[in-house]
Amino acid sequence: MEPGREEVFFFEGNGKRLLGFLHLPPKGKSSAQGVVYCHPFAEEKNLSHAVTARAARRLAEAGIAVLRFDFSGCGDSEGELDQSDASAWLAEIAAAEQVLRAKTGVKQVGFWGLRSGANLALMHAQGRRDVPFLILWQPLPGLADFLRIFLRQSISTALAKGQGAKLTVKDLTKRLEEGGVVEVIGYPIGKRLYESFMALDARALPGELPCPTYMLTVGPPEMAPLKVKNWAASLQAAGAPLEALHDESEPFWDRYWRWDAPAPAEATAAWAVARGTSTAVAG
């Protein structure tokens, strides 16, 4: 079957010029539903880019229109990271959803995210009844701890250069709270971004799910995110519509020279097809 069309474009989202990449299903497969992909944070986005582009192509082959986009201050989109924040990114997910509907005519839009993008996708869908499905790849246990661990890398960098021996994460957060910028491996972190991660932390893993959800965790068993697995198990015990899979392939968002993660992509596409997100039609 001839591959579906792909289109790259800029669109306006929450007042910013954002980069979108649309994957359409092959000719002959109608797309009753689409999905918006939310990328992870900082270098994880860069390292996972080719993998998620390929996974999006697999979903499109399975009949699901996919819109990937870059948050403001990230990737090809407008702005710098220290001028962005996660609350604005939530508004941008809503804008991307509207663009996907307008460009494809799909009636229902699900959400798919990787790492912090998974948490944001979940937050965006929370409380809604019209979201058909969620795909969560390796959601974070929390946004606050994640950002603190991220900040710690700037201390490691300083130590490697023989600087900052007495610097702590507390010093860095104080600097952020006072309006300063902390550079972490090339990414500028500002007060707005820091405060938004702290404010949204409590919503990272909510106690209920709005729709059928597929959660995929990846990596060696000893690195399995226990808090996330326990969260999933408690939801399942309460009867939530959650299917969870752990794949023991490499955590591709944390590795150079990785282009593909076929097992997570295939498993996700199979789940989406099995729950009837696409319909083959004559043509």
Partner 1 sequence: MGSAVSDMNPSATGVNAPVTPASETAVEFRLDDRRVGDRGGLEGRGLFGILHQPSRPGPAGPEPVPVLMVNGGPQARIGAHRSYVQIARHLAGLGYTVLRFDYAGLGDGQGDFVGYNKAAPSIRAALDFLLSRVPAQGAYLWSLCDGAAASSVYAPHDARILAMVLSNPYVFSDQVRSQTYIKHYYLQRVMEKDFWVKAVTGGLNPFKVIGGFTELFRKAFMGKRKAPARGDATAANAGAPDGSFAKADVKEEVLGGVCRFGKRVHFLLSTDDLTAMGFKDLLLGGGETARLLKTGQLSYSEIAGSDHTFSTPGAKAEVCAQTRAALEGFSKTVQGRS
The enclosing H or E element of 62 equals none
- Cα(15)–Cα(77) distance, integer angstroms: 12
Q: Calculate ∠ Cα 117-267-100, nearest 5°.
A: 45
Residue 61 neighbours by CB distance under 10 Å: 18
Decide whether 246 or 258 has the Cβ nearer to partner 1: 258
Place of tokens 């968002």: 253
Q: What mask, x for binding partner 1 by CB under 8 A, covers residues 233 to 262?
A: -----------------------xxxx---
| Minimum distance from residue 116 beta carbon to partner 1 (Å) | 16
The enclosing H or E element of 95 equals helix 86-104
| Minimum distance from residue 75 beta carbon to partner 1 (Å) | 5
Q: What mask, x for binding partner 1 by CB under 8 A, covers residues 195 to 234?
A: ----------------------------------------
* Residue selected from 185, 202, 224, 281 as contacting partner 1 according to rule CB under 8 A: 185
Size of the site for partner 1 (CB under 8 A): 40
| Minimum distance from residue 179 beta carbon to partner 1 (Å) | 17
Decide: helix, strand or coil at residue 119: helix
| Minimum distance from residue 195 beta carbon to partner 1 (Å) | 22
| Minimum distance from residue 49 beta carbon to partner 1 (Å) | 4
Identify residue 46 by its one-letter amino acid code: N
| Minimum distance from residue 148 beta carbon to partner 1 (Å) | 19
3-state secondary structure 1-60: CCCCCEEEEEEEECCEEEEEEEECCCCCEECCEEEEEECCCCHHHHHHHHHHHHHHHHHH
CA 51 to chain centre: 13
- Cα(248)–Cα(137) distance, integer angstroms: 13
- Cα(166)–Cα(156) distance, integer angstroms: 11
For partner 1, the binding residues in 83-122 under the rule CB under 8 A are 95, 98-99, 101-103
Of the CA atoms within 13 Å of residue 135, those in its CB half-sphere come to 30
Place of tokens 């198990």: 233
- Cα(141)–Cα(144) distance, integer angstroms: 9
| Minimum distance from residue 43 beta carbon to partner 1 (Å) | 6
For partner 1, the binding residues in 151-180 under the rule CB under 8 A are 157, 161
* Residue selected from 71, 133, 187, 253 as contacting partner 1 according to rule CB under 8 A: 187
Token pair recorded at residue 117: 């993008």
* Residue selected from 26, 30, 50, 195 as contacting partner 1 according to rule CB under 8 A: 50
Decide whether 74 or 86 has the Cβ nearer to partner 1: 74
Decide whether 248 or 280 has the Cβ nearer to partner 1: 248
Is residue 26 a contact residue for partner 1 (CB under 8 A)?
Answer: no
Contact set with partner 1 (CB under 8 A): 6-12, 17, 19-21, 42-43, 46-47, 49-50, 53, 74-76, 78, 81, 95, 98-99, 101-103, 157, 161, 183, 185-188, 256-259
